[in-house]
Amino acid sequence: MTDTAMTHTEHTITMAVPPEAAFWIISDVRTWPVVFPPTVHADRIGGTDTDERIQLWAMANGELKTWVSRRRLDPAAGRIEFGQERTAEPVAAMRGTWSLRPVPGGGCQAVLSHDFRAAGDDPGALARIEQAVEHNSRAELGALKAAAEAHAQRGDLLLRFEDTEVADGPSAAAYDFIYRCQDWPDRLPHVTRVALTEETPGLQIMEMDTKPPSGPVHTTVSGRVCFPGSRIVYKQTQVPPLLAAHCGEWRFEDAGGGTRITSQHTVLINADAVAGVLGDGATVDQAKSRVREALSANSLTTMRHARAHAEGTRQPQRPGVR
């Protein structure tokens, strides 16, 4: 394969932070689901802080895809090189660089380049890849700028917490309850509708309507990555106005013959929406409290029904349902 067979693109953005403030966001893939809109989940699966292998799960043209990349990181130069070792159809090859360059005034310019080739050199497939690269590159650079500048000004916008239930039953049953989210409207009192797409086993796109005790129905869209029997990670790609990002994880662990079910949330508050949603004078801390209360209530309800399912007891029914 020669360079002339590859399509090359470059996208740039300038931000009001020094290169190192943006570099740490790009370098730590654990932050990507919160920062970058297309990324649903990211894991380092091997290597070191300067030469690593990562697996990414991300949205591309409305589909949830996964691939494995090798990255070489040079913090001193503000440069990260990446190349896909295992691609996702219709990509035959993909490589590129992140480059951060200082600019006058203390800011920096981020340059994201890609070189790619379609499977079979198919023109239609190449057009779809170009569309995905164009959309995702612009989204990622815009999100990088927003995250780096917001962290420099407002480091208090991030919220992480978890809730736990212990079931006297097998983890496989508890996992199955969370995995089969298409059954939730009949099983959970706060869920009124679920539309599920799972074209690749374990990679789900879930659209869900939830009804809080008071207020309107909320519609969320999530990408979910399912690791059979152990955990399900997800990222909401459509979030309520108060949130800039919301990622989560369901974990299932052995606990003395039973199962420990854990719901973990990572949330980024949308500071610009706080006053509009909660009223003039409302604070970020109040927004965090409101978000945690709502998410914990839903998670605990879901886990208690999963516990009842795992224990083989009759699940609590919605009033009026027989």
- Give dist(CA 213, CA 216) in Å, integer: 9
Query: Strand 158-167 vs strand 51-60: parallel, antiparallel, or unpaired?
Result: unpaired
- Give dist(CA 64, CA 81) in Å, integer: 23
The residue-averaged pLDDT of 307-321 equals 64
Q: Tokens 């013959």 appear where?
A: 257
Four-CA torsion 53, 57, 58, 61, nearest 10 degrees: 110
Q: Token pair for residue 29?
A: 């893939």
Given a contact cutoff of 8 angstroms between Cβ atoms, the answer to whether 35 and 154 are in contact is: no
- Give dist(CA 235, CA 244) in Å, integer: 12
Q: Token pair for residue 182?
A: 């298409």
Domain layout of the chain by residue ranges: 3-153, 158-311
Calculate ∠ Cα 262-253-170, nearest 5°. Answer: 105
DSSP 183: G
- Is the predicted pLDDT of residue 141 greater than 50, yes or no? yes
The structural architecture, per CATH, of the domain 3-153 is: 2-Layer Sandwich (3.30)
The residue-averaged pLDDT of 269-294 equals 94
The full length of the chain comes to: 322
The CATH number corresponding to 158-311 among 3.30.530.20, 3.40.50.920, 1.10.3660.10, 3.50.50.60 equals 3.30.530.20
Closest listed residue to residue 90, CA positions, set 65, 73, 53: 65
Identical fold between 3-153 and 158-311: yes
* pLDDT tens profile 166-220: 999 999 999 999 999 999 999 999 999 999 999 999 999 999 999 877 778 889 9
DSSP 182: G
Q: Count the alpha carbons within 13 Å of 109 in the hemisphere toward its beta carbon.
A: 8
Helices (H), 154-283: 171-179, 184-187, 274-278
Q: Band of the pLDDT at 45, cuts 50, 70, 90? A: very high
Is-above-0.85 flag for pTM? yes
* pLDDT tens profile 71-114: 999 999 999 999 999 999 999 999 999 999 999 988 999 999 99
Q: Token pair for residue 255?
A: 């606990």
**Burial grade of 157 (CB within 10 A; 0-12, 13-18, 19 or more):** buried
